[in-house]
Amino acid sequence: MLNSESLNNVLENKVISRQDIIEIYQNAIEDYTELFSAAQNLRKKFKNETVTFSKKAFFNIVNLCKDTCSYCTYKAEPKEEKLSLMSKQQILELLQLAKKYRCVEALFVTGEQPEQKYPEARDWLKKNGFKSTAEYLIHSSELALELGLFPHTNAGNLNFEEMKELKKTNVSMGIMLENVSERLTEKGMPHYLAASKRPKARLEVLENSGKLGIPMTTGILVGIGETIEEVIDSILAIKQLHQKYGNIQEVILQNFQPKPDTIMKNAPSADENYFKTIVALSRIIMPEMNIQIPPNLSPKSYQSFLSVGINDWGGISPLTPDFVNPEFAWPELDKVDENSKNAGFELKCRFPIYPEFFSFVSKELREKISVIENEEGLVKEEYWR
């Protein structure tokens, strides 16, 4: 038995309070052994010795964005070299290439409602025959499905109707909650100039995804000046939504890394021990959840996170960069496989939707999945190796 009554309660499937979680964190500052051990036990209980990933191609469809976050290097201005306005032909060509590389997921990413701010975005949409970014995403998703790839869209604060339409072609969707703290939206804070990052706006998108029954990936950003209470409240907000709708399929824990061309360029990256403690705490708060960290953001140590409760590496691309974190290359899949094995885990490829969420998608999408699905609901090895 562990010394901590709260941790024993978690292991015995009993409910723990917010205050219990804060105390678990405070004890872990002194000695994290028990917390890490409990997180590992829970992951083993619910996820066995498997670690999953999704083999993807990253479609940087449009990176004009009406928001400005202090740490974001993804957003481009119209005259910048990194501006991306993908044409229908470019999308088709990348889809075909992704198929050759045996990718399973087509990750469609855009800036936040770019047509609301930029005439360049409106002209680009018009040229391609669309009125909105959401319409373009629907077209791109249909194209991906025709070619045998599974769409996962991450396009910021889409409204209810847009999400309802995208559900027809997307096996899952994503939006980072980042943090529920209103304080982080105040002047001088990371989300001050990002209206879409207001907690109320993000929570509404997640609430709508629940009402629509969309398998949803969300998560928090760690190390942007938040307090531990704000972290805990953010994870609890995700947990409450999942308890209400049952549609949160995965929680991403992303460690902040400063970018050279941003306001927060001189801020330190998230401390690794602090980050590991947050990862373990997330497993304690949501014992059965799929929890991932991006391996490219912890290039020297990602495999060590397998001992603090994660069970997924997220999307890894053999073909396209991580346009959100361009300075961090994806690790080679063979290396991820080897590192996972050395840590005692078997690497397996999943769809952008986890098997336990298959019941959320339409009969048509389910049939497409079944073509390359093995008995575990994961991707047959011959389709991704």
Q: Distance (Å, rounded) from C-alpha 72 to C-alpha 222?
A: 14
pLDDT surpassing 50 at residue 183: yes
| H/E element, 272 | helix 272-285
pLDDT at 32: 94
Q: Distance (Å, rounded) from C-alpha 145 to C-alpha 153?
A: 13
Q: What is each CA distance from 240 to 143, 196, 246, 360, in whole angstroms?
A: 35, 21, 9, 19
pLDDT surpassing 90 at residue 13: no
237 CB neighbour count, 10 Å cutoff: 19
Chain centre to alpha carbon of residue 352: 10
191 CB neighbour count, 10 Å cutoff: 26
pTM of the model: 0.95
Closest CA to 352 of 175, 173, 205: 173
pLDDT at 250: 98
pLDDT surpassing 80 at residue 126: yes
pLDDT band at 87 (very low <50, low <70, confident <90, very high): very high
What would the pLDDT profile of 38-54 be if each residue is shown by its tens digit?
A: 999 999 999 999 999 99
Per the CB < 8 A criterion, the answer to whether 288 and 13 are in contact is no
- Higher pLDDT: 149 or 191? It is 149
pLDDT at 326: 86
> What is the average pLDDT across 177-186?
90
pLDDT at 299: 95
List CB contacts of 212: < 8 A, sequence separation 6 or more. Answer: 160, 163, 164, 167
Per the CB < 8 A criterion, the answer to whether 22 and 228 are in contact is yes
pLDDT at 163: 98
- Higher pLDDT: 270 or 317? It is 317
pLDDT at 67: 75
DSSP code, position 322: -
> What is the average pLDDT across 11-18?
90
pLDDT band at 75 (very low <50, low <70, confident <90, very high): confident
Mean pLDDT, the chain, as a whole number? 94
Query: Residue 369 belongs to a domain with what CATH number?
Result: 3.20.20.70
Return the percentage of the chain with pLDDT > 90, whole number: 79
Lowest mean pLDDT among 114-118, 151-155, 366-370: 114-118
DSSP for 363-380? HHHHHHHHTTB-TTSSB-
pLDDT band at 2 (very low <50, low <70, confident <90, very high): low
Q: Where are the beta strands (DSSP E) in the chain?
A: 50-62, 105-110, 150-154, 172-174, 216-222, 248-255, 291-292, 312-316, 346-349
Per the CB < 8 A criterion, the answer to whether 269 and 257 are in contact is yes
The angle, 0 to 180 degrees and rounded to 10, between the axes of the packed helices 88-100 and 133-146 is 30
pLDDT surpassing 80 at residue 261: no
- How many domains are contained in the chain? 1
Determine the structural domain holding residue 232 and report its residue range: 5-384
Torsion sign, CA atoms 294, 298, 304, 309: negative
DSSP code, position 85: B
Per the CB < 8 A criterion, the answer to whether 297 and 327 are in contact is no
Alpha-carbon Rg for the chain in angstroms:
20
pLDDT surpassing 80 at residue 8: yes
Q: Distance (Å, rounded) from C-alpha 207 to C-alpha 139?
A: 25
pLDDT at 158: 95
pLDDT surpassing 60 at residue 224: yes
pLDDT surpassing 60 at residue 1: no
pLDDT at 149: 98
What are the structure tokens assigned to 112, written together? 């936040």
What would the pLDDT profile of 340-362 be if each residue is shown by its tens digit?
A: 999 999 999 999 999 999 999 99
Looking at the DSSP bridge assignments, the partners of residue 250 are 217
pLDDT surpassing 90 at residue 164: yes
